[in-house]
Structure 1
């Protein structure tokens, strides 16, 4: 955070254009008032206190709070219900010339399952729908010829590997329409979708 010298700013009229310029110059970290102390057990704790008060995330951010919570929920469900398998997080799969991101991969002697979380509780759903459809298109390469898990040790992935989707449910009519479009894309690549409240069912089913 940049603490501005308030004495230097005395008597200066700060226009919206000036503020925008400062915000851009300081990468959105500008403080135009006198700094105040924050009492917390640690720097990390202080950041958590300040974050919600000072930072506004873009409404279209695909990595929303609800998305992060859903990823955490699914990871915990896998850990409880599929303990005999290794849980790989934030994995990248290569299929032909395509590269796909998944939140989880279950690994035994082979890759047993792939899953990804999507949120449909966003104000601007257009970018998210485009990403879902592009992801589904790339996944067709996996269905047609299999792929491999990128990492230190490459693991072959069968073309019929179970692919599952956990989604944060929509709340508005526009969001529900976006989910309908996404579900059409998932059906084409044989990916089974579950709402957030069925995370344990997703993790339990083989």
Structure 2
């Protein structure tokens, strides 16, 4: 379901850097959403200019690192920037991040304590248990598979997240945009390695 918007007026060619509220004026969704769009573009453009098309920060050096077996890989906890978008694998393990002043780890969603022992391998997410990729296809054991991370943004309304309904008024008041990721496998790539140019990987540029 798409957002219920009056209009979209953001234009990056105008080089506006903010939206200023004036007293006594009628407030509309368009102005607020324009501010969000300006902020999003600034973050994405800044990330692209700083890191390039893809990068893993030093603070989470194992972010999306693939370990384990060929048929049952594990995905490392941490952050990854793809085309300026921030993807984050939180994993289940609870951990306090002093710099961001937050607790990471999906176990907190079930009310687990910070000192609770993780139920899975520390710092990884199984390929078969990805948060945004239910029931991924099995990976073959008899051929080389190229694993890659697909990152995009999607719109979320109260139909996907009932928590967006305001209990005080009984209806949704806002919606959300979400960055999601999936680790996928490309089979039939033949004898390749990390140094193989993209154009030489069968099926990669299709």
| TM-score when normalising by structure 2 | 0.23
Q: Which fold has the larger relative contact order, with Cα–Cα distance below 8 Å and residues 6 or more apart in sequence?
A: 1
Q: State the TM-score, normalized to the length of structure 1.
A: 0.23
Indicate the structure with greater helix content: 1
